[in-house]
Amino acid sequence: MKKFLLSCFVIGCFVVYSVHQRHEGAAVVVLPPAANKPQAPSSTNSTSTASSPTAQPNSPYKDGQYTGEATDAYYGYIQVQATIQNGKLTDVQFLQYPSDRSTSVYINSQAMPYLKQEAIQAQSANVDGVSGATDTSQAFIGSLRSALQKASNS
Amino acid sequence: MKHTRLIMGMPVTLILPNGNTELINEAFEYFRYVDETYSPFKPGSEVSKINAGLPESRWLLEMRSILALCEQTKHETNGYFDAWRGGKLDPSGLVKGWAIHNVALWLGEVGQEDFYVEAGGDIEVSGTNANKKPWRIGIRNPFNRDEIVKVVELAKGGIATSGTAVRGQHIYNPHQLEMPLTDVVSLTVIGPDIYEADRFATAAFAMGKAGVEWIESLPGLEGYMVSSDRTATVTTGFGGYEVAGR
């Protein structure tokens, strides 16, 4: 039974992956619920950590967060956590990801066509320094000022 | 002790927690030298001389090594970084990170373990700050320059941000000149040093939305991209630098 559920999850991952392949660029993908999709991991999966599962009509998915097995992708281990909300896959987090990217750059860049997204939010300013785009308008003003200075000296 | 001077038309900031002002002044002198030698805006600079037709046989040895680095970067970024535009040389995009990293290397050579070197928002750090903690660096909100949207901790490395913060300025994709980049507002890259972080941030920014995925594919580099819809896209390893909480 465990094996069956695990294989269901692996198939589910491939479905997620193949849908992602059709999405260009970095994007959070929301899978439309469809009855003929392979079964998603349910709360009976020994590796899942479902929280307050609620069945949605017309959706094979129960709400909650589900942790997949660490899977050998032959260039390293991948482990994801999927979040289902209102019967839809709303987020996939990578808990494990091959860390030695130097040997598998090409494969990984092909296999991971999306990255985590978040809304930007103001943080407390308790920092030693700030990284930001060079204010070239300031540089322009500074340069103009020195040019004008030279111009007034000559 | 934080020291800031306006050099190269931008604020240059140095922090040595042990308060060695002699080294700080020497570092500022070096930045002034780099500005005098490599600024395309100064008529007497080596870059201006080359653009005015100085024969190659009279180019400085150091200039040649910078141009070799520019060529290498152009190759490594599939042409997205190019120091030559319309026959004119402007290596500023590389020289800034190169200069900051040179100062960091020199500070290490003279026995400094803890330092912060910044020029115009591009930073290299080593060791710890005055409180013996890893350096805490904020990433500026590209929509509000008085705000930061992320805090990272660095014990050794560089962090650089490329962006379109300036009104009226457009950075163009050299492969699609007719299309100004409007969707990506800023891209921050963390790398093993500021030279690597800066040149790859510049090139990745020119790639548009694909830039952060390209950074994802490069070993030793992490990225944080802010889009015009106020969302950020982060590479998988970026969280390792993030400071939790507010």
Give which of B143, B159, B142, B177 is closest to B215, Cα–Cα.
Answer: B159
pLDDT in tens, B84-118: 988 899 998 899 999 999 999 999 999 999 999 99
ipTM score of complex = 0.88
Task: Please give the DSSP secondary-structure letter assigned to residue B108.
Answer: H
**Is the Cβ of B15 closer than 8 Å to some Cβ of chain A?**
yes
Structural domain that includes position A88: 2-111
Mean of the per-residue pLDDT values of chain B: 90
- Which helix (H) or strand (E) is B73 found in, with range? helix B61-76
Angle at A92 between CA A89 and CA A96, to 5 degrees: 150
What architecture is domain B2-240? Answer: Roll (3.10)
Q: How many domains does chain A have?
A: 1
Q: Are A131 and B123 in contact (CB < 8 Å)?
A: yes
**Residue A19 included in any domain:** yes
Whole-angstrom distance, CA of residue A14 vs CA of residue A31 = 13
Instruction: Map out the domains of chain B as residue ranges.
Output: 2-240
**Residue A153 included in any domain:** no
Tell me the angle at which helices B210-217 and B194-206 cross, rounded to the nearest 10 degrees: 140
| pTM, to two decimals | 0.66
**Is the Cβ of B171 closer than 8 Å to some Cβ of chain A?**
no
**Residue A141 included in any domain:** no
**Is the Cβ of B212 closer than 8 Å to some Cβ of chain A?**
yes
**Residue A64 included in any domain:** yes
**Residue A100 included in any domain:** yes
* Chain A contact set for B186 (CB, 8 A): 132-133
Beta bridge partners of A94: A80
What percent of chain A is helix, strand and coil (3-state, nearest 5)?
30, 25, 45
pLDDT in tens, B22-81: 999 999 999 999 999 999 889 999 999 999 999 999 999 999 999 999 999 999 998 888
* Chain A 29-88, residues with CB within 8 Å of chain B CB atoms: none
**Residue A57 included in any domain:** yes
**Closest partner CB to A115 (pick from B140, B188, B234):** B234
Q: Are B121 and A137 in contact (CB < 8 Å)?
A: no
- Which helix (H) or strand (E) is A15 found in, with range? helix A2-22
A150-to-A116, A120, B46, B96, B124 alpha-carbon distances in Å: 50, 43, 19, 24, 33
Contact A14, A21 (CB under 8 A): no
